[in-house]
Structure 1
Amino acid sequence: MNYVTKPIPEQKPPVSFVTRPWGSFHQYAFNEECTVSMMLCLPGQRLSLQSHTGRAELWIVIDDGAVVQVGETIHHCKAGDEIWIPANEKHRLSCPGETPVRVLEVAFGNWQQEDISRYDDDYKR
Protein backbone atom coordinates (compact mmCIF):
# COMPACT_ATOMS: atom_id res chain seq x y z
CA MET A 1 0.00 0.00 0.00
CA ASN A 2 1.24 3.51 -0.80
CA TYR A 3 1.13 5.80 2.24
CA VAL A 4 2.89 8.68 0.49
CA THR A 5 -0.06 10.97 -0.21
CA LYS A 6 1.38 14.28 1.02
CA PRO A 7 4.76 15.98 0.59
CA ILE A 8 7.40 14.70 3.03
CA PRO A 9 10.40 16.91 3.81
CA GLU A 10 13.76 15.23 3.28
CA GLN A 11 15.46 17.41 5.89
CA LYS A 12 14.39 18.85 9.20
CA PRO A 13 12.30 21.97 8.57
CA PRO A 14 13.70 25.21 10.00
CA VAL A 15 12.83 25.90 13.62
CA SER A 16 12.11 29.52 14.47
CA PHE A 17 13.17 30.95 17.82
CA VAL A 18 11.08 33.94 18.78
CA THR A 19 11.65 36.19 21.78
CA ARG A 20 8.92 38.12 23.55
CA PRO A 21 8.96 40.39 26.60
CA TRP A 22 7.65 37.48 28.69
CA GLY A 23 10.20 34.94 27.41
CA SER A 24 10.50 33.00 24.16
CA PHE A 25 9.23 30.07 22.11
CA HIS A 26 10.40 27.63 19.45
CA GLN A 27 8.09 27.22 16.46
CA TYR A 28 8.41 23.79 14.84
CA ALA A 29 5.72 24.13 12.18
CA PHE A 30 4.22 27.30 10.74
CA ASN A 31 0.94 27.04 8.84
CA GLU A 32 1.89 23.51 7.78
CA GLU A 33 -0.18 20.40 7.82
CA CYS A 34 1.34 18.09 10.41
CA THR A 35 0.34 15.74 13.21
CA VAL A 36 1.59 16.47 16.73
CA SER A 37 1.68 13.78 19.43
CA MET A 38 3.12 13.61 22.94
CA MET A 39 4.67 10.17 23.50
CA LEU A 40 5.21 8.81 27.01
CA CYS A 41 7.62 5.90 27.38
CA LEU A 42 7.53 4.10 30.73
CA PRO A 43 10.64 3.03 32.69
CA GLY A 44 12.27 -0.07 31.23
CA GLN A 45 10.12 0.05 28.08
CA ARG A 46 10.75 0.90 24.44
CA LEU A 47 8.86 1.35 21.19
CA SER A 48 9.30 -1.15 18.41
CA LEU A 49 12.16 -0.57 15.98
CA GLN A 50 10.07 0.81 13.13
CA SER A 51 9.94 2.91 9.98
CA HIS A 52 7.25 4.75 8.00
CA THR A 53 6.99 5.37 4.26
CA GLY A 54 4.41 8.16 4.40
CA ARG A 55 5.91 10.51 6.95
CA ALA A 56 9.05 12.00 8.44
CA GLU A 57 9.18 12.93 12.12
CA LEU A 58 10.79 15.56 14.29
CA TRP A 59 11.12 14.36 17.89
CA ILE A 60 11.59 17.02 20.57
CA VAL A 61 12.76 15.45 23.83
CA ILE A 62 10.91 16.81 26.86
CA ASP A 63 12.62 14.85 29.67
CA ASP A 64 16.23 13.90 30.34
CA GLY A 65 17.03 10.20 29.94
CA ALA A 66 15.37 9.31 26.64
CA VAL A 67 17.40 7.06 24.35
CA VAL A 68 16.60 7.41 20.65
CA GLN A 69 17.89 5.13 17.90
CA VAL A 70 17.86 6.48 14.33
CA GLY A 71 19.35 4.04 11.85
CA GLU A 72 22.47 2.68 13.56
CA THR A 73 23.01 5.83 15.66
CA ILE A 74 22.07 5.88 19.35
CA HIS A 75 21.31 9.28 20.94
CA HIS A 76 21.39 9.61 24.75
CA CYS A 77 19.11 12.61 25.01
CA LYS A 78 18.52 15.44 27.39
CA ALA A 79 15.51 17.75 27.53
CA GLY A 80 15.42 20.06 24.53
CA ASP A 81 17.25 17.77 22.10
CA GLU A 82 15.72 17.59 18.62
CA ILE A 83 15.99 14.43 16.53
CA TRP A 84 15.07 14.36 12.82
CA ILE A 85 13.80 11.02 11.51
CA PRO A 86 13.52 10.91 7.69
CA ALA A 87 10.85 8.80 6.01
CA ASN A 88 11.87 5.13 5.68
CA GLU A 89 14.50 5.41 8.46
CA LYS A 90 14.42 2.81 11.23
CA HIS A 91 13.96 4.40 14.65
CA ARG A 92 13.01 3.68 18.26
CA LEU A 93 12.46 5.45 21.59
CA SER A 94 13.61 3.78 24.83
CA CYS A 95 13.39 4.64 28.51
CA PRO A 96 16.17 2.75 30.32
CA GLY A 97 15.90 4.83 33.50
CA GLU A 98 13.53 4.80 36.46
CA THR A 99 11.48 7.83 35.40
CA PRO A 100 9.15 8.02 32.38
CA VAL A 101 10.30 10.12 29.42
CA ARG A 102 8.20 12.26 27.11
CA VAL A 103 8.91 13.11 23.50
CA LEU A 104 6.87 15.53 21.40
CA GLU A 105 6.49 14.12 17.89
CA VAL A 106 5.80 16.43 14.95
CA ALA A 107 5.01 14.23 11.95
CA PHE A 108 5.17 15.67 8.42
CA GLY A 109 3.33 13.80 5.69
CA ASN A 110 0.43 11.41 5.99
CA TRP A 111 0.11 10.00 9.53
CA GLN A 112 -1.59 6.59 9.45
CA GLN A 113 -1.28 3.92 12.13
CA GLU A 114 -1.06 1.26 9.39
CA ASP A 115 2.11 2.88 8.01
CA ILE A 116 4.43 1.07 10.41
CA SER A 117 7.00 -1.51 9.40
CA ARG A 118 8.22 -3.22 12.56
CA TYR A 119 11.68 -4.84 12.62
CA ASP A 120 11.94 -5.65 16.34
CA ASP A 121 9.06 -5.49 18.80
CA ASP A 122 9.14 -6.51 22.46
CA TYR A 123 5.34 -6.87 22.38
CA LYS A 124 5.22 -9.25 19.37
CA ARG A 125 2.99 -6.99 17.24
Structure 2
Amino acid sequence: MPDDPTNHFRPVIRPDPIREAGEWGRAVQHARNTVASVKLVMVRAGGVHSLQYHHQRGELWIILDAGLLVEVDGHSWDATVGEEIWIPPGSTHRVSAPGDAGRFIEVSFGHFSEIDVTRLEDAYGR
Protein backbone atom coordinates (compact mmCIF):
# COMPACT_ATOMS: atom_id res chain seq x y z
CA MET A 1 0.00 0.00 0.00
CA PRO A 2 1.51 3.38 -0.96
CA ASP A 3 2.23 5.95 1.71
CA ASP A 4 -0.69 8.28 2.36
CA PRO A 5 0.59 11.91 2.45
CA THR A 6 -2.39 12.96 4.61
CA ASN A 7 -1.81 10.25 7.22
CA HIS A 8 -0.16 12.68 9.66
CA PHE A 9 -3.48 14.56 9.92
CA ARG A 10 -5.37 11.52 11.16
CA PRO A 11 -5.62 11.02 14.92
CA VAL A 12 -4.18 7.80 16.32
CA ILE A 13 -7.17 7.47 18.67
CA ARG A 14 -10.65 8.87 18.36
CA PRO A 15 -10.77 12.24 20.14
CA ASP A 16 -13.40 12.83 22.80
CA PRO A 17 -16.26 14.92 21.39
CA ILE A 18 -16.85 18.38 22.81
CA ARG A 19 -20.49 18.87 23.79
CA GLU A 20 -22.21 22.22 24.04
CA ALA A 21 -25.76 23.21 24.83
CA GLY A 22 -27.68 26.44 24.47
CA GLU A 23 -31.20 27.76 24.32
CA TRP A 24 -31.25 26.99 20.57
CA GLY A 25 -30.44 23.27 21.06
CA ARG A 26 -27.18 21.30 21.37
CA ALA A 27 -24.11 20.35 19.35
CA VAL A 28 -21.41 17.69 19.44
CA GLN A 29 -18.05 18.68 17.94
CA HIS A 30 -16.14 15.64 16.71
CA ALA A 31 -12.84 17.24 15.59
CA ARG A 32 -11.06 20.50 16.29
CA ASN A 33 -8.24 22.10 14.33
CA THR A 34 -7.09 18.92 12.65
CA VAL A 35 -7.75 19.32 8.94
CA ALA A 36 -11.28 20.56 9.68
CA SER A 37 -13.60 20.89 12.65
CA VAL A 38 -16.83 18.88 12.45
CA LYS A 39 -20.05 19.29 14.46
CA LEU A 40 -23.37 17.51 14.44
CA VAL A 41 -25.76 20.40 15.19
CA MET A 42 -29.24 19.68 16.54
CA VAL A 43 -31.68 22.61 16.44
CA ARG A 44 -34.63 22.16 18.76
CA ALA A 45 -38.19 22.70 17.51
CA GLY A 46 -38.72 26.46 17.37
CA GLY A 47 -34.99 27.12 17.92
CA VAL A 48 -33.02 29.69 15.95
CA HIS A 49 -29.27 30.34 15.79
CA SER A 50 -28.00 33.89 15.94
CA LEU A 51 -27.40 35.76 12.70
CA GLN A 52 -23.61 35.69 12.66
CA TYR A 53 -20.42 35.60 10.63
CA HIS A 54 -16.81 34.46 11.08
CA HIS A 55 -13.53 36.02 9.94
CA GLN A 56 -11.27 32.98 10.26
CA ARG A 57 -13.31 30.08 8.92
CA GLY A 58 -15.71 28.99 6.23
CA GLU A 59 -18.41 26.41 6.91
CA LEU A 60 -19.96 23.61 4.93
CA TRP A 61 -23.41 22.60 6.17
CA ILE A 62 -24.82 19.22 5.24
CA ILE A 63 -28.56 19.04 5.92
CA LEU A 64 -29.75 15.82 7.57
CA ASP A 65 -33.43 16.56 8.29
CA ALA A 66 -36.26 18.33 6.48
CA GLY A 67 -37.77 21.46 8.00
CA LEU A 68 -34.68 23.63 8.53
CA LEU A 69 -34.83 27.23 7.37
CA VAL A 70 -31.42 28.54 6.23
CA GLU A 71 -30.37 32.17 5.78
CA VAL A 72 -27.08 33.10 4.06
CA ASP A 73 -26.21 36.70 3.14
CA GLY A 74 -29.85 37.81 3.36
CA HIS A 75 -31.27 34.96 1.24
CA SER A 76 -33.58 32.49 3.06
CA TRP A 77 -34.85 29.10 1.91
CA ASP A 78 -36.14 25.77 3.17
CA ALA A 79 -33.14 23.46 3.03
CA THR A 80 -33.54 19.97 1.57
CA VAL A 81 -32.18 16.75 3.03
CA GLY A 82 -28.67 16.15 1.70
CA GLU A 83 -28.23 19.75 0.54
CA GLU A 84 -24.68 21.07 0.96
CA ILE A 85 -24.36 24.77 1.73
CA TRP A 86 -20.99 26.54 1.60
CA ILE A 87 -20.67 29.64 3.78
CA PRO A 88 -17.44 31.56 3.08
CA PRO A 89 -15.70 33.63 5.77
CA GLY A 90 -17.51 36.94 6.26
CA SER A 91 -20.90 35.68 5.03
CA THR A 92 -23.82 36.20 7.40
CA HIS A 93 -25.71 33.03 8.21
CA ARG A 94 -28.15 31.33 10.55
CA VAL A 95 -30.42 28.31 10.69
CA SER A 96 -33.74 27.76 12.43
CA ALA A 97 -36.26 24.99 12.95
CA PRO A 98 -39.66 26.70 12.73
CA GLY A 99 -41.48 23.36 12.99
CA ASP A 100 -39.91 20.13 14.17
CA ALA A 101 -36.33 19.81 15.43
CA GLY A 102 -33.68 19.29 12.77
CA ARG A 103 -30.02 18.32 12.37
CA PHE A 104 -27.14 19.25 10.11
CA ILE A 105 -23.42 18.54 9.91
CA GLU A 106 -21.19 21.62 10.13
CA VAL A 107 -17.67 21.23 8.73
CA SER A 108 -15.51 24.28 9.46
CA PHE A 109 -12.42 25.05 7.40
CA GLY A 110 -9.85 27.45 8.80
CA HIS A 111 -9.15 28.21 12.44
CA PHE A 112 -12.07 27.21 14.69
CA SER A 113 -12.68 29.41 17.71
CA GLU A 114 -15.90 30.46 19.42
CA ILE A 115 -14.22 33.87 19.81
CA ASP A 116 -14.53 34.21 16.01
CA VAL A 117 -18.31 34.64 16.15
CA THR A 118 -19.74 38.08 15.44
CA ARG A 119 -23.45 38.05 16.30
CA LEU A 120 -25.66 40.56 14.49
CA GLU A 121 -29.01 39.32 15.86
CA ASP A 122 -29.67 36.88 18.68
CA ALA A 123 -33.02 35.74 20.08
CA TYR A 124 -31.40 34.68 23.37
CA GLY A 125 -29.54 37.87 24.30
CA ARG A 126 -26.00 36.54 23.79
Q: Is the shorter-chain TM-score for this pair beyond 0.5, marking a shared fold?
A: yes
- 1:21-40 alignment, distance < 5 Å: 33-40=35-42
Map of 1:122 onto structure 2: 123
* Separation (CA, whole Å) in 1 of partners of 2:75 and 2:108: 20
Give secondary structure in 2 for the equivalent of 1:122: coil
Helix, strand or coil: the match of 2:82?
coil
Q: Percent identity?
A: 39
Letter in 2 for 1:113: E
Select the structure with the greater relative contact order (CA < 8 A; seq sep ≥ 6). Answer: 1
Structure 1 length normalisation: TM-score? 0.72
- The answer for unaligned runs of 5 or more in structure 2 is 1-33
Structure 1 stretches of 4+ moved >4 Å: none
- Work out the number of aligned pairs and report it: 93
Question: What is the RMSD computed on CA atoms of the aligned residues?
Answer: 1.0
* Displacement of 1:111: 0.5
**What's 1:113 paired with?**
114
Task: Give, in whole Å, the separation in 2 of the partners of 1:58 and 1:75.
Answer: 16
- The alpha carbon displacement at 1:45 in A equals 1.0
Q: For 2:79 and 2:49, how far apart are their aligned partners in 1?
A: 16
Distance 1:75 1:91 in 2: 12
Rounded Cα–Cα distance in structure 2 between residues aligned with 1:112 and 1:47: 17
1:48-59 → structure 2 map (5 Å cutoff) = 48-59=50-61
Which residue among 19, 43, 46 is the counterpart of 2:45? Answer: 43
Task: Name the residue aligned to 1:81.
Answer: 83
Q: Give the letter for the 1:86 counterpart.
A: P
